[in-house]
Amino acid sequence: MRRTLLILGLSASIAGSAQELCGTIAARCEQHITKQYIPDGQFYRALLQGDEQAEFNLTLFGGTTYRVAACSGESDGILVFNVVDKDGNVLFSNKDQGNAPYWDLAVTNTIDVKVEAGLDPTKAGSGCAVMLIGFKK
């Protein structure tokens, strides 16, 4: 019984630490959605290991400039993300831009896209991935 309580206590402590860690990453990521951008009001995160990828679907409305921020680990440039259209065409990859932690997407016509995010294997083996989106008025 004592061992059970000990393990539960330790596990809860680890869970708290992980949450704190994601929170720290989120706080850093929020800095990339500067005051020129209105946050979309949502928070996206995933736990990644190895070459796992997180993905989420979104509609980008025409006539809008979006900012996508993607963060993990203790510094910028650890998360690699691709923006892919419904036909599988890669519209943008931050890998081509030195793993930029944020990028703007100026959208002419409304388009449904998928954002795929994974860790740069040369920089991290696992971690909490946070993505945030803002847009210009």
Partner 1 sequence: MSVSSSSKIALGLGLGLFLAACGGSDTQSEKPAVDTLAVDTTAKETELLNVGGRIFSIPSPVQAALAMRKAGLKYRKELAAPLEKADPAVGKTAQSTLLGIYGADLAYATVHKDGQRAMATMQAIEKVGSKLELTNAFDRALLDRFKSNLGSEDSLLQFSGVAFRAADRYLKENQRNDVSALVLAGGWIESLYLTISDPAAANDQSIVNRIGEQKNSLDALVELVQTTDTANGAANIVAGLKELQALFAKVSSTYTFQEPVTDAGKKTTFINSTSTVTIPADQLKAIVTKVTDIRNLMLA
Where in 18-57 is the site for partner 1 (CB under 8 A)?
A: 18-19, 21-23, 25-26, 30, 35, 38-57
* Minimum distance, C-beta of residue 115 to partner 1, in the bound complex (Å): 8
Exposure on the CB side of residue 64, measured as CA atoms within 13 A? 17
Sequence-ordered list of residues with C-beta below 8 angstroms from that of 11, at least 6 positions apart, any chain: none
Considering only residues 86 to 115 of the shown chain, the ones binding partner 1 according to CB under 8 A are 86-87, 89, 91-92, 96-97, 100, 102-112
- Distances from the Cα of 120 to the Cαs of 34, 87, 92, 100, in angstroms? 25, 25, 16, 12
* Minimum distance, C-beta of residue 25 to partner 1, in the bound complex (Å): 8
Decide if residue 84 touches partner 1 (CB under 8 A).
no
How many residues touch partner 1 under the rule CB under 8 A: the total is 90
Rounded to the nearest 10°, the torsion over CA 12, 120, 113, 91 is 170
Considering only residues 64 to 83 of the shown chain, the ones binding partner 1 according to CB under 8 A are 64-65, 72-74, 78, 83
